[in-house]
Amino acid sequence: MADARLRAALRTLLGDLRRFAYGLSGNGADADDLLQATVVRLLEKGVPDDADIRRWALRVCRNLWIDMIRAKRPNVSWDEAPEAADSAVDGETAAMARIELNQVQAAIAQLPPDQREVLSLVAVNGLSYREAAEIAEVPIGTIMSRLARARGALAERLGQAGEQAGDKGQGKRPGGKRIES
């Protein structure tokens, strides 16, 4: 792929690559490092002419992430959300949304790396199971089972977090009786 075309294609993919890198690494600083390493690698090595640039870039990012894990343990604190909107309706709504986001991020951070990767590919980046399988270099069935386990673990963890929030007044009727869902 010609250098100018590659640069233009990479500019359009930066958002997807950043989200994927964030999903893999778990924090903004490592995601930025991973994104930079991915872009540098792609610019230095290029992309095969017959390759889909998006899939190739995501695979390069994944492989660099694996190298990063092998070199050190990733820091999985989810202390910031990429591209988060700063507008909020009111203080209470913003606070509740932030609490929920923190609960989701904490639950995702507790997932094993392989489940976090698949969740990021399919749920965050919107890839098909087939595309995710090609990038992760595993069978489609493995993608499906990892995703099911990840979703199940998140539902369980977030269900527990929701029950704890319910004990503090959430999910109750005005008369104090618990709302069953």
pLDDT band at residue 161 using 50, 70 and 90 as cut-offs:
low
Count up the domains in the chain and report the number.
1
Residue 25 belongs to domain with CATH number: 1.20.140.160
Q: Is residue 172 part of a domain?
A: no
Q: Which of 74, 20, 13 is nearest to 42 (CA)?
A: 13
Tokens of 135: 């990038």
Across-strand partners of 172?
A: 178
- Tell me if 89 sits within 8 A of 98, measured CB to CB: no
Domain membership flag for residue 180: no
Distance CA 24, CA 134 (A): 16
Q: Residues 80-97: pLDDT tens digits?
A: 444 444 444 567 777 777
Q: At what angle are helices 53-71 and 3-25 packed, to 10 degrees?
A: 50
Q: Establish if 175 belongs to a structural domain.
A: no
Q: Pick the residue with more confidence: 171 or 55?
A: 55
Whether 92 and 155 have beta carbons less than 8 Å apart is answered as no
Contact by Cβ (8 Å): 109, 76:
yes
- Boundaries of domain holding 50: 3-166
Percent of the chain exceeding pLDDT 70 equals 76
CB atoms within 10 A of CB 95: 11
- Considering the domain boundaries, does residue 50 fall inside one? yes
Model pLDDT, residue 171: 44
